[in-house]
Structure 1
């Protein structure tokens, strides 16, 4: 939501609010009936789960619910009916209060004004305490369960946390997520470079549909998102196309019934200027037609001279609800990015190590300001349909058609040869490269969702079919090694474009088609829960050759996943799980033989514990995992080429969250042993140790302070070299809110630490990490 009333303090803190008490029979807040399935068990857990699924706010004294149980519900109810059934035989009374919420209290306690130790759960609690995400619903798992109920490692980063930490990209939004190495290529304008659990095979999804990957596709703007979900470990049994380390799903902002509007202005380091707006609400009085429009315009320089990072997007969406059983949403998105390659691919001598003239400046631009470019243009149309068939079953369909084009013109230093190192004067001979790409994606997912009871067990089931097609075209390619002109890395001089040597040609294109049938079921029996998934895929990868017959490779694959969990009444939930991965790869290995890439396969075994305190002010997750992988795509030993090898990863990760009256803290630690299979070398570009701490303190008068620290252990390049030292970075924010205004100042890499984030291999190219950035923000919500 764009405008939030702070009404919740966790841990039994005192909250005063005015409540407009009504008897249960007076007035109804929500008249639409929906399918709800809440298992029997502890009342406080059942109410919390229901509130988040129904999107309502509940206010109650946590002490009143201790020791109380409920028989649960399963069927079609209004919100009032469902809550009343959950409270049967509890001795508690339900009443409506202001702002569409509910009060639960002992009989006779309801007054016109109420002051009590309160715990508020549901929509408001999720917004105010975004770090406490264990009870948030997870769409990425397809089980229809919350994060805590799912026997797998899931992290949800919502837009409030993104905003409070000052994250400007998906990379930055994930900096405090356990098991995730974000920004592993250092400063970049090309894409978000993210590794999960040491495995560099991330597949991106948006709204459950596969998106683009790598430098050719658009870079998702975090302002267009409601949240980001990270499912760690394989997910092929649910998505077919998912990396072994995990998948990333971003959730788009869609129309809301409540009228909410925001205007946001931002300015900061490197002459950054940005303006954005977000507006949503009902178009008609009956609420059958809703709208939302989100837009952003940015004009910015970067830490590298002559490299800009300009962008704009516009995303209108419309929802039609012809009845309480049907909802149809159309979402459009157009984005244009105007930039230059941010990574400068600097030689190891002069970046990681001093050369004869010392270290190369992080601001040095190796290209040509009037020739280099990195432009992208993306247009997408998405359709989402939800229709309730019966009291038990709902039909959902999602479809997206996307087209994206990019234009690359760049100069860079050479690598994989002795010419990578500058001479004594700092001179080096550049590479010149051109490439134009066009990508078309078609996605369709149709599935049935059911909530029902069979005997003593309750089921949350999804059964469906999805279809994915991608066409990747690459034209105007040229790679001139040693043909980009001589360049001095310490005294840059521009205007030496060797345009006469550029002789581009078209590359082979690639087309992927995949159809999958899947079944996922979350089964609950008392305190036990079992999550199982099974999927069968038909996959086709066709190399569309320019001067030769096309080559088609077909495969079928059946993948499975299972996890079992026991939910103790004290909030502790241990689990074990097994999952498999299957990732189709496009194109070939980039060698002279042009070998078509084989699908990457793998499996993971995981043992974990989740804990959420009854007061919901303490959350803890722990997971140990063992990963085996085949045909992993890794950097090759020819320019632009890749190789396929295996990997073995063992590790553990832990995250703890705590909320006090005015203070929230979250800490995480990740420990990995990641090895290239069959070789005694570490998996490159991944630290084996990661640690983070983030905290925010709310002062009187609307002032808030935030600070974070991030530790990244040492990293190696391909072949175990070179070794990059560990680094510790600091972030900070300060904010002030009054009335409808919010002002904030945020800083990343507060001490302006200069460090190397990645080196390809020994004596190859290296990339600087992000320097300090400071931005000031002004938001007006109405």
Structure 2
């Protein structure tokens, strides 16, 4: 007889009989579930209640629970939403270094639409720019914000679909939540050093221990230092990062976490582009070496508190303050003819102060056989951001014989604004479980957002007040202990601009989830239909800005994460996206596809561990493939990129119990394509990068 838990068998080998489920959907999963039960009966398997360690992934690529569509921690099968979790184990297995690397093997997510451009993060979820969050508190959209340091986080949750009722203002495609590394209640640590392509030299550490004998006070210190370049000689890719955390546990029911981190980046915005239609080396550079910078200086302090009051009642709160300075300036290719490339200068200097916090009360109980979980919370935010844009013509350059002219004395300022924002919100969530099979989830939130924008060039001030309610409802049916189906409806809202109604979205979704008890694996399939309207466009009648735009996206997401055997793991994903511009004002384009969104995309990553022998240490081999289909560069659909396949690889050799040597290669075949372009310049994807890392753990 074998005993099983949700984490797989306690003893004995694990099975991998359900790989084919990856490309199946609802009916296929149901058939396989039936087959599994027959097999369990024959093998006399005794299935116990699932055992899940809350908030931990236990070194696995498979997360059996997440915050789902809200702030309630929810088992994978119970959540009426499509949620992908990238754990620390998966990040390590793939050697993912940037946020784009972390997300690039996730269903519904497309990354790197601007190629090697390093100004911001570039990824979309179900056709839209997602709002990003840190520990459940908003950071903003990735486009236009600073690049986060992925080493600061040990878990990434991607919640797909409209979700303003839980997290607040966001587009309907989804949200991404970064979970900060916190101190642990035992001693641990790692130090590493890396050398790699583009003259990269890097060192880092992540250590922690208890400061008291009774484990009431623990610390964690995380940092990295990097010196390097990008694909071209005139670039920089330097960084200093340091994060320190303290956790106080005065008793078993209370935890208080304080985390302070400093991020200092000295990089470049990207190559500045290449003349359209050419085939240039990535090392070619047509910008200005003396005017090519992207800097980030941010300090953040986060306080996370939780208290179990007993009797099913608990409280929690998160507070964050950040102070950010960022800038960039460069000369980019803006057109041209023959061998002459036109160029323009562009600058962006910003400073931002933000204070944001939330507090919530949760009550868990059972009423007449119905399990109930209720959550009520409030959120408050206040920020001040100053932003100055500069733009002006730059000297042309002959791309056959580049002659650099140096940095300009000044760049004309075209925008100088000071934006003050104050937000308040109240939200509630309710989850009811009937007969251990039906899970009803409800969410409701109301946001108040007051914005004041000072135009310091024009000497004018504009104001806007938003008061919006969003909701969400989902129903899950757990057909068996391994299989569930669900349906949901959710809304989203984002500001459109002063004097304009907010842009609104809504989504209908149906899905199926499968988590076999015979192995630690999860499989999911979801179909959805989402729309976003009230999009600001120029009204063809009044020739003024009006909320008349509308787009629609329908699609399918398939995803699998499985530990097939103790030595073999796999992640796989496929997405189909049918996007359409329904209304667009004077811009036209009705019936066209949304820009930068491929119709088809997919990925697979396989890790195989070869156990140690008397003569050789343990070795792990990883190989991945990412396919991104053709997509349009703009909503007018005038130019597009071709579909492409990128290969990634990883190798790790266990020198001893605590030391390992790893080699990672991204874009193994050095595939080159224009990730964005066709208008005034082409922007290529990043070339092949190889790195070797020596790591010591304890």
Measured against the shorter chain, the TM-score band is 0.7 to 0.9
Distance 2:262 2:144 in 1: 16
- The CA deviation at 1:568 is 1.9
Greater Cα shift, 385-394 or 652-661: 652-661
Alpha-carbon shift at residue 632 of structure 1 (Å): 4.6
Structure 2 partner of 1:611: 514
Q: Map 1:268-279 onto structure 2 (within 5 A).
A: 268-279=196-207
Q: Is the 8 A contact 2:571 2:605 kept in 1?
A: yes
SS in 2 for 1:126: coil
Q: Quick check: 1:10–1:659 contact (8 Å CA) kept in 2?
A: no
Once residues 69 and 382 of structure 2 are traced to their aligned partners in structure 1, the CA distance between those partners, rounded to angstroms, is 21
Residues 1:659 and 2:587 aligned together: no
1:10 Cα deviation after fit: 5.2
TM (norm. structure 2) is: 0.88
Equivalent residue for 1:167, pick from 83, 96, 102:
96
SS of alignment partner, residue 765 of structure 1: coil
CA–CA separation in structure 2 for the residues paired with 1:283 and 1:179:
43
- In structure 1, C-alpha distance between the alignment counterparts of 2:10 and 2:304, rounded to whole Å: 40
Equivalent residue, structure 1, for 2:595: 684
Checking the alignment, whether the CA contact within 8 Å between 1:317 and 1:332 is kept in structure 2 is yes
Q: Secondary structure at the match of 2:100?
A: helix
**Hey, what does 1:115 align to over in structure 2?**
none
Partner residue, 2:85: 156
Tell me how far 1:609 sits from its aligned partner: 0.1
Match of residue 365 from structure 1: 285
Q: Which residue of 2 aligns with 1:127?
A: 58
Alignment partners' CA distance in 2, 1:502 and 1:243: 34
| Aligned residue in 2 for 1:390 | 310
Please state how far the C-alpha of 1:449 moved relative to its aligned partner: 1.5
Which of 225, 250, 257 is residue 185 of structure 2 equivalent to?
257
CA 616–531 in structure 1, closer or farther in 2 if over 3 Å, else same: farther
CA contact (8 A) 1:444 1:466 kept: yes
| CA contact 1:360–1:489 (8 Å) conserved in 2 | no
For 2:632 and 2:304, the matched residues in 1 are separated by 44
Provide the residue aligned with 1:325 in structure 2: 253
Q: Deviations over 1:476-525 (max 9, x none)?
A: x3210xx21121223322234442x6344661222222211111112111
Instruction: Give the Cα separation in 2 of the matches to 1:541 and 1:333.
Output: 28
2:123, 2:142 within 8 Å by CA — same for their partners in 1?
no
Alignment of 1:79-94 (within 5 A): none
Q: CA deviation at 1:125?
A: 9.2
CA contact (8 A) 2:395 2:405 kept: no
1:725 pairs with 2:642: yes
Cα distance change of structure 1 residues 777 and 633 upon mapping to structure 2, 3 Å threshold? farther
* Structure with greater strand percent: 2
Report what 2:411 is aligned to.
Answer: 502
Aligned equivalents of 1:534, 1:145: Cα separation in 2? 18
TM-score for the superposition, normalised by structure 1: 0.78
Q: Deviations over 1:648-671 (max 9, x none)?
A: 000111113333322112221101
2:527 corresponds to which of 577, 599, 624: 624
Cα pair 1:238 1:518 within 8 Å, conserved: yes
Distance in 2 between residues matched to 1:349 and 1:313, nearest whole Å: 39
Q: Does residue 536 of the first structure (1) align with residue 446 of the second (2)?
A: yes
Retained in 1: the 8 A contact 2:7–2:520?
no
The answer to whether the Cα contact below 8 Å between 1:514 and 1:540 also exists between their aligned partners in 2 is: yes
Asked whether the equivalents of residues 525 and 557 of structure 2 are also in contact (C-alpha less than 8 Å), the reply is yes
Q: CA deviation at 1:65?
A: 6.0
Matched, 1:473 2:382: no
Q: Residues 527-577 of structure 1, C-alpha deviation per residue, up to 9 Å, x if partnerless?
A: 111111011111222222213332111121111101001112251100000
Indicate how the Cα distance of structure 1 residues 411 and 643 shifts in structure 2: closer, same or farther if over 3 A, else same. farther
CA, structure 1 residues 331+308, in 2 after alignment: closer, same or farther (shift >3 Å)?
same
Match of 1:456 in 2: 369
Residue matched to 2:30 = none
Q: Distance in 2 between matches of 1:124 and 1:628?
A: 33
Separation of aligned partners in 2, 1:687 and 1:724: 10
- The equivalent position to 2:578 in structure 1, one of 647, 653, 673, is 673
In the aligned structure 1, how far is the partner of 2:312 from the partner of 2:547? 48
Q: Does 1:734 align with 2:651?
A: yes
Q: Please, which moves more after superposition, 259-268 or 214-223?
A: 214-223
Q: Does 1:243 align with 2:171?
A: yes
For residues 693 and 323 of structure 1, the distance between their equivalents in structure 2, rounded to whole angstroms, comes to: 44
Residue in 2 aligned with 1:58?
none
After superposition, residues 292-303 of structure 1 pair within 5 angstroms as 292-303=220-231
Rate the CA distance shift 1:257–1:456 in 2: closer, same or farther, 3 A: same
Q: 1:444 to 1:140 in 2, by over 3 A?
A: farther
Q: How far 1:182 sits from its partner (Å)?
A: 1.4
5+ residue gaps, structure 1, are 1-7, 17-61, 71-85, 87-119, 351-358, 415-419, 589-594, 636-640
1:64 Cα offset (Å): 7.4
For the 8 Å contact 2:68–2:81, the answer to whether it is kept is: no
Residues 141 and 231 of structure 1 are in contact (CA less than 8 Å); yes or no, is this contact kept in structure 2? Answer: no
Aligned to 1:405: 325
* SS of aligned partner of 2:58: helix
Query: Are residues 237 and 375 of structure 1, via their aligned partners in 2, closer, same or farther at CA, if it must alter by over 3 Å?
Result: same
Contact 2:501 2:547 in 1 (8 A): no
Matches within 5 A, 1:287-366: 287-350=215-278, 359-366=279-286
- In 1, distance between residues paired with 2:549 and 2:240? 39
Rounded to whole Å, the distance in 1 between the matches of 2:626 and 2:537 is 26
Cα distance between partner residues in 1 of 2:547 and 2:399: 31
> 1:642, 1:744 → 2: CA distance?
54
Aligned with residue 573 of structure 1, among 472, 484, 500: 484
Counterparts in 2 of 1:726 and 1:127: CA distance versus 1, 3 Å: same
Question: Aligned partners of 1:670 and 1:249: how far apart in 2?
Answer: 21
Cα displacement (A) at 1:389: 2.0
Give yes or no for contact 2:121–2:146 (8 Å, CA) kept in 1.
Answer: no
Shift of 1:366: 2.5
Aligned mate of 1:647, from 525, 537, 551: 551
Q: Which runs of 5+ in 2 are unaligned?
A: 1-5, 15-41, 539-544, 584-589, 613-617
Does the 8 Å CA contact 2:522/2:561 hold for their aligned counterparts?
yes
Instruction: Say whether 1:191 aligns with 2:191.
Output: no
Distance 1:302 1:162, change over 3 A: same
- Partner residue, 1:753: 671
Pair 1:633–1:749, CA change in 2 (3 A): farther
CA distance in 2 between partners of 1:121 and 1:63 (Å): 24
> How far, CA to CA, are the matches of 1:624 and 1:596 in structure 2?
35
Q: Which moved more, 1:252-261 or 1:463-472?
A: 463-472
| SS of alignment partner, residue 293 of structure 1 | strand
Q: Name which of structure 1's ranges 559-568 and 535-544 shifts more when overlaid on structure 2.
A: 535-544
CA deviation string 1:627-660 (max 9, x = no partner): 010245799xxxxx99983210001111133333
Partner of 1:485: 395
Question: d(CA) in 2 for partners of 1:122 and 1:532?
Answer: 25
CA distance in 2, matches of 1:710, 1:584: 34
| Change over 3 Å in CA distance of 1:264–1:633 after alignment to 2 | farther
For the 8 Å contact 2:449–2:467, the answer to whether it is kept is yes
Q: CA deviation at 1:752?
A: 0.3
Q: Does 1:446 align with 2:375?
A: no
| Offset of residue 122 of structure 1 | 4.3
